[in-house]
Amino acid sequence: MKATIATYPVRTMNTCDPIQEAGPVQPTLIKKKELAKRLSVSPRSIDGWVSKRVIPYIQITSRFYLFEFDAVLAALKKLYQVETKVRD
């Protein structure tokens, strides 16, 4: 299963052009609660994976982390060697 990132045209206030295409797509960073919801696990499971360094994360403060969903999904697939089902 491959996740896709949808891109939409961006309208800017400083141009006369009606719509311009956006630049390269940046990875979407999500919070722990959203990651837990997408993976159908508890936020405490995410905490355990972070403390064991099983999944990649970006630490903003001592208690606040951000995650890139595609990277986390790839790490879990590699670790557990199973296909995951993503909930929309």
Map out the domains of the chain with their CATH numbers.
29-80 (1.10.10)
* pLDDT, averaged across the chain: 79
Of 28-32, 55-59, 80-84, which gets the smallest average pLDDT? 80-84
CB 84 within 8 A of CB 1: yes
Percent of the chain with pLDDT over 90: 50
72 and 29 in contact (C-beta within 8 Å)? no
Residue 39, amino acid: L
What are the tens digits of pLDDT across the range 4-29? 444 555 555 555 555 555 667 677 89
Task: Check whether 56 has a pLDDT greater than 70.
Answer: yes
Q: Report pTM.
A: 0.62
Task: Indicate if the alpha-carbon torsion angle 53, 56, 59, 65 is positive or negative.
Answer: negative
